[in-house]
């Protein structure tokens, strides 16, 4: 591999500046100044696509890796990728890579014999001129997505016929800060066509113990290497996710108090905007964490016989053995009746542990499922003082003995839990009442875990319980306060509604709306090992930007999950025994309101799932809101309300728990279908802070769909001076990426529909125009 490392004084000066936390000067790297279109180069954009001249066979980006090293605010990013040439002749290419402002190239290398490899970083204005030039010549707007970034441009490199070319480059830059939040961004395309997997790894070395490390864009796998060191990897399932890779971190003080950070997105329609608040759990020595009181409730009905019950008993013993001496233990089993190891939870010691083992060993399967009495027994017993009371409740069937109505069981959890026990439910198999288990867990600051028929009960229970290790903040509450520390009414629609308990290493992610432009102040309080504590944070919203379009989209996803859950809970028994015909849930105007808001949020933010996937179906008419509402209602009635057990209910439970707890983007709109198969939607595109739905060759802005105005007010032809002026206007708003959509675009801009098209005549037909033409043709 030929390598050209920048050992020049200019580069060393730049790298020295980076190391000292100062802006580095970009050292222009010598590239032959010739007409970039004099030769048939292909423009390789590893974060987007390949732009090839007309008639040329495009080379293909096979895969990419990014290795990032962050020391305090200095970041070094090394990207390696492979380019495949399917053509029978050698082709030449030039690399274009969007990079943060102030980036300095330290290495560029490729394989094979060629002129000495060179690269330079073009400042954003020069980069924009090059983007415009390539867009005009190649009739492809793909690069406009990166307007606003600087650009690394390489010299020409060869890609052998039928072969592959490996390329490696490294650049350095200083990370931006916002209050206490340090931000890293790896610019990449939001287009779903970016299908090559990216393996991204970050080695983080902070100047102080790390408080938060969070990505709103990708699911992470994190390994702690010390108080101030982390190894972070993008998870396997997130490697295909498009969009910029974003990572932020904060450090904590020596007191161990929580640290917090905030992203803000401006939206005048809510009087301010949307916020995403992150807060770390307090730092507490592991031997000083709150004690736990753990009650294990095992279903021993006849249907549990065999492997399921044996695995459940093994899980119970594993959990009991893992608790520390002095922590509370209790074991309850139930079939037609209810049994218990102790009269009430007691402290673990050698004697109580042996009694618990003997009780578990003696459990045998028989009888029905008296879920009501088992739940009652687990909730009513006195709690151990100063301990966090946890219940692990396993069941594999519907309630068949004792009170079985959902309403009776809902009433029990709401009125019969005097000690505020957290009930973590485990639905074993598919024959469980999914909305009931979810309601029990959600009402008690817990979650439900579903164990599918082919899965191991012991593994799933142990995995959940492992997250409940070393509680450090119990019954947390988050309140907005003013400068006088009084409750502030400037925030609304905050999710989650009740915060979960925080365990060692946990991170809290809260989303909501805010009003005004003044800094937000929050008070986080709860029970710690040292008693009740309060922590206050002052976080700015002055840096709110449309580049944080992930904030309202994450909020909308959680809100949709919450609204669907509300609808299926309210539509439960509806006065009829479980399994019997129910009245129409949407006869209730309150449920119609929930339906309408679910459809509105899905349309505006492009957050779709099994109830609204029809929005991404070619046959559905975006200009017929009544028909869209009917489709949404039919799906909600037939799935969320009527389907309460079986595999087609379990998948809904899993989808809704994911949405209600979502912390990272889901750009492909993945969800589990009724057969528990993973589905992704391709005719919906989230780009910048907008959502577009594809119909034929036309991408329609969700805001235009909401207004039910799909007729263009203005038409702009691609490649004209008006087009480039419009592109610059969108760049100022942080929305130029919408022009990179492949096809014609109907964009809502300040309540006006702008049609961007490559055609002068005939004009594009919107769905409403097509409908009129069809009527005339008939």
Render pLDDT for 86-119 as a digit per residue (tens, 0 to 9).
999 999 999 999 999 999 999 998 876 555 778 8
Give 238's contacts (C-beta < 8 A, 6+ positions apart). Answer: 218, 219, 664
DSSP symbol at 639: I
CA 507 – CA 319 distance, rounded (Å): 24
**Dihedral pair phi/psi, residue 160, rounded to 5°:** -65, 155
Give 729's contacts (C-beta < 8 A, 6+ positions apart). Answer: none
Render pLDDT for 271-281 as a digit per residue (tens, 0 to 9).
999 999 999 99
CA 764 – CA 283 distance, rounded (Å): 59
CA 326 – CA 335 distance, rounded (Å): 30
**Dihedral pair phi/psi, residue 723, rounded to 5°:** -65, -50
**Spatial contact of 293 and 328, defined as CB atoms under 8 Å apart:** yes
* Cα 69 to chain centroid, rounded: 24
Q: Is the dihedral of CA 503, 509, 510, 516 positive or negative?
A: positive
**Spatial contact of 432 and 650, defined as CB atoms under 8 Å apart:** yes
Render pLDDT for 735-763 as a digit per residue (tens, 0 to 9).
999 999 999 999 999 999 999 998 754 44
Of residues 146 and 22, the one with the higher pLDDT is 146
Place of tokens 């039910």: 708
CA 243 – CA 135 distance, rounded (Å): 21
CA 302 – CA 457 distance, rounded (Å): 17
Q: Determine the pLDDT at residue 94.
A: 92
Render pLDDT for 325-340 as a digit per residue (tens, 0 to 9).
999 999 999 999 999 9
> Which of 244-248, 448-452, 761-765 shows the lowest per-residue confidence on average (mean pLDDT)?
761-765
Name which of 50, 42, 94, 1 is nearest 196 in CA terms: 50
Q: Determine the pLDDT at residue 36.
A: 52
Average pLDDT over residues 566-592: 74
> Which of 134-143, 230-239, 369-378, 763-772 shows the lowest per-residue confidence on average (mean pLDDT)?
763-772
Q: Is the dihedral of CA 125, 128, 130, 133 positive or negative?
A: negative
Average pLDDT over residues 181-188: 96
CA 202 – CA 225 distance, rounded (Å): 12
Give 658's contacts (C-beta < 8 A, 6+ positions apart). Answer: 561
Render pLDDT for 490-531 as a digit per residue (tens, 0 to 9).
999 999 999 999 999 999 999 999 999 999 999 999 999 999
**Spatial contact of 715 and 766, defined as CB atoms under 8 Å apart:** no
**Spatial contact of 678 and 690, defined as CB atoms under 8 Å apart:** no
Place of tokens 């043709």: 777
- Predicted confidence (pLDDT) at residue 300 exceeds the cutoff of 70: yes
Give 777's contacts (C-beta < 8 A, 6+ positions apart). Answer: none
Q: Determine the pLDDT at residue 46.
A: 87
Average pLDDT over residues 561-569: 95
> Which of 8-17, 109-118, 528-537, 686-695 shows the lowest per-residue confidence on average (mean pLDDT)?
8-17
Q: Determine the pLDDT at residue 286.
A: 72
Size of the chain, expressed as the number of residues it contains: 778
**Spatial contact of 27 and 118, defined as CB atoms under 8 Å apart:** no
Render pLDDT for 348-375 as a digit per residue (tens, 0 to 9).
999 999 999 999 999 999 999 999 999 9
Strand partners, 262: 277
Assign residue 579 a region (left: φ > 0; alpha: ψ between -120 and 50; beta: otherwise).
Answer: left
- Assign 334 to helix, strand or coil: strand
Q: Determine the pLDDT at residue 258.
A: 94
- Assign 566 to helix, strand or coil: helix
Q: Determine the pLDDT at residue 3.
A: 40
| Farthest CA pair distance, the chain | 87
Render pLDDT for 375-394 as a digit per residue (tens, 0 to 9).
999 999 999 999 999 999 99
Strand partners, 295: 330, 391
Residue 534 burial (10 A CB sphere; 0-12, 13-18, 19+): exposed
Tokens of 568: 């299926």
- Predicted confidence (pLDDT) at residue 319 exceeds the cutoff of 90: yes
CA 217 – CA 239 distance, rounded (Å): 11
Give 371's contacts (C-beta < 8 A, 6+ positions apart). Answer: 334, 395, 399, 402, 404, 409
CA 564 – CA 560 distance, rounded (Å): 6
Render pLDDT for 530-555 as a digit per residue (tens, 0 to 9).
999 999 999 999 999 999 999 999 99
Q: Determine the pLDDT at residue 10.
A: 32
Q: CA of 427: how far to CAs of 338, 436, 656, 707, in Å?
A: 19, 10, 15, 42
Q: Determine the pLDDT at residue 575.
A: 39
CA 468 – CA 329 distance, rounded (Å): 15
Strand partners, 754: 714, 747
Q: Determine the pLDDT at residue 378.
A: 97
CA 450 – CA 66 distance, rounded (Å): 35
Strand partners, 203: 69, 231
How much is the mean pLDDT over the chain?
90
Looking from the CA of 633 toward its CB, the CA atoms found within 13 Å total 16
**Dihedral pair phi/psi, residue 573, rounded to 5°:** -65, -40
Residue 178 burial (10 A CB sphere; 0-12, 13-18, 19+): middle
Q: CA of 88: how far to CAs of 58, 91, 163, 220, in Å?
A: 12, 9, 9, 40
Alpha helices in 661-720 (DSSP H): 702-707
- Predicted confidence (pLDDT) at residue 398 exceeds the cutoff of 70: yes
CA 532 – CA 464 distance, rounded (Å): 27
**Spatial contact of 294 and 390, defined as CB atoms under 8 Å apart:** yes
Q: Determine the pLDDT at residue 767.
A: 56
Average pLDDT over residues 420-425: 98
- Predicted confidence (pLDDT) at residue 565 exceeds the cutoff of 60: yes
Cβ of 302: how many Cβ atoms within 10 Å? 14
Residue 50 burial (10 A CB sphere; 0-12, 13-18, 19+): middle
CA 152 – CA 12 distance, rounded (Å): 18
Whole-model pTM: value is: 0.91
């Amino acid at each position: 591999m030929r390598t050209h490392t920048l050992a020049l004084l200019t580069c060393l000066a730049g790298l020295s500046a980076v190391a000292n936390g100062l802006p580095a000067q970009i050292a222009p790297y010598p590239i032959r100044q010739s007409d970039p279109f004099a030769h048939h180069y292909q423009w390789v954009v590893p974060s987007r696509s390949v732009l090839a001249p007309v008639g040329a066979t495009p080379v293909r980006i096979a895969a990419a890796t990014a290795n990032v090293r962050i020391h305090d605010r200095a970041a070094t990013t090394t990207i390696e990728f492979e380019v495949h040439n399917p053509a029978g002749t050698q082709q030449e290419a030039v690399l274009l890579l969007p990079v943060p402002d102030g980036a300095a190239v330290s290495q560029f290398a490729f394989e094979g014999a060629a002129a000495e490899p060179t690269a330079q970083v073009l400042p954003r204005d020069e980069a924009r001129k090059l983007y415009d030039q390539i867009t005009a010549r190649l009739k492809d707007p793909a690069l406009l997505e990166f307007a606003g970034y600087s650009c690394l441009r390489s010299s020409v490199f060869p890609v052998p016929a039928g072969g592959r070319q490996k390329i490696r480059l490294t650049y350095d830059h200083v990370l931006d800060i916002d209050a206490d939040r340090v931000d890293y961004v790896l610019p990449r395309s939001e287009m779903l066509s970016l299908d090559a997997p990216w393996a991204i790894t970050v080695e983080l070395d902070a100047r102080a113990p790390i408080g938060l490390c969070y990505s709103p864009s990708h699911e992470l796998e994190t390994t702690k290497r010390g108080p101030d060191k982390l190894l972070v990897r993008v998870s396997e399932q997130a490697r295909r996710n498009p969009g910029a890779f974003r990572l932020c971190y904060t450090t904590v003080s020596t007191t161990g108090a929580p640290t917090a950070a905030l992203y803000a997105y401006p939206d005048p329609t809510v009087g301010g905007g949307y916020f995403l608040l992150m807060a770390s759990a307090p730092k507490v020595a592991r031997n000083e964490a709150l004690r736990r009181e753990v009650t294990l409730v095992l279903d021993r009905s006849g249907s549990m016989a065999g492997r399921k019950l044996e695995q459940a008993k093994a899980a119970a013993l594993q959990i009991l053995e893992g608790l520390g001496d002095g922590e509370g233990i209790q074991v309850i089993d139930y079939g037609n009746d209810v049994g218990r190891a102790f009269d009430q939870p007691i402290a673990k010691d050698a004697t109580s542990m042996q009694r618990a083992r003997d009780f578990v060993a003696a459990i045998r399967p028989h009888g029905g499922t008296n879920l009501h009495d088992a739940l009652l027994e687990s909730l009513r017993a006195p709690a151990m003082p100063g301990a966090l009371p946890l219940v692990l409740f396993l069941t594999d069937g519907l309630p068949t003995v004792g009170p079985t109505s959902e309403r009776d069981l809902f009433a029990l959890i709401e009125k019969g839990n005097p000690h505020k026990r957290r009930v973590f439910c485990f639905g074993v198999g598919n024959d469980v009442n999914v909305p009931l288990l979810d309601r029990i867990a959600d009402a008690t600051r817990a979650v439900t875990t579903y164990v599918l028929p082919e899965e191991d009960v012991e593994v799933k229970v142990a995995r959940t319980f492992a997250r409940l290790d070393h509680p450090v903040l119990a019954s947390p509450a988050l309140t907005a306060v003013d400068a006088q520390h009084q409750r502030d009414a400037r925030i609304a629609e905050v999710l989650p509604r009740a915060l979960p308990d925080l365990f060692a290493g946990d991170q809290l992610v809260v989303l909501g709306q805010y009003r005004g432009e003044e800094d937000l102040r929050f008070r986080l309080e709860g029970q710690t090992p040292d008693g009740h504590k309060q922590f206050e944070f002052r976080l700015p919203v002055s840096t709110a930007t449309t580049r944080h379009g992930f904030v309202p989209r994450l909020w909308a996803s959680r809100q949709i999950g919450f609204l669907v859950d509300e609808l299926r809970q309210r539509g439960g028994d509806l006065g009829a025994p479980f399994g019997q015909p129910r009245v129409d849930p949407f006869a209730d105007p309150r449920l119609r309101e929930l339906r309408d808001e679910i459809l509105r949020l899905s349309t505006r933010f492009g957050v779709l799932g099994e109830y609204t996937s029809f929005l991404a179906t070619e046959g559905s008419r975006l200009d017929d809101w009544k028909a869209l509402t009917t489709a949404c209602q039919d799906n909600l009635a037939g799935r969320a309300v009527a389907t309460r057990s079986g595999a087609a209910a379990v998948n809904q439970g899993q989808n809704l728990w994911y949405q209600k707890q979502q912390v990272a983007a889901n750009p492909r709109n993945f969800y589990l279908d009724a057969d528990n198969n993973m589905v992704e939607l391709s005719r919906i595109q989230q780009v910048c802070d907008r959502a577009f739905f594809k119909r034929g060759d036309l991408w329609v802005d969700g805001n235009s769909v909401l207004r039910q105005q799909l007729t263009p007010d203005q038409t702009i032809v691609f490649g004209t001076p008006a087009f480039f002026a419009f592109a610059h206007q969108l760049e100022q708003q942080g929305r130029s990426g919408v022009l990179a959509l492949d096809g014609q675009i109907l964009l809502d801009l300040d309540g006006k529909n702008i049609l961007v098209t490559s055609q002068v005549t005939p004009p594009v037909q919107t769905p409403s125009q097509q409908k009129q033409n069809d009527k005339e043709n008939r």
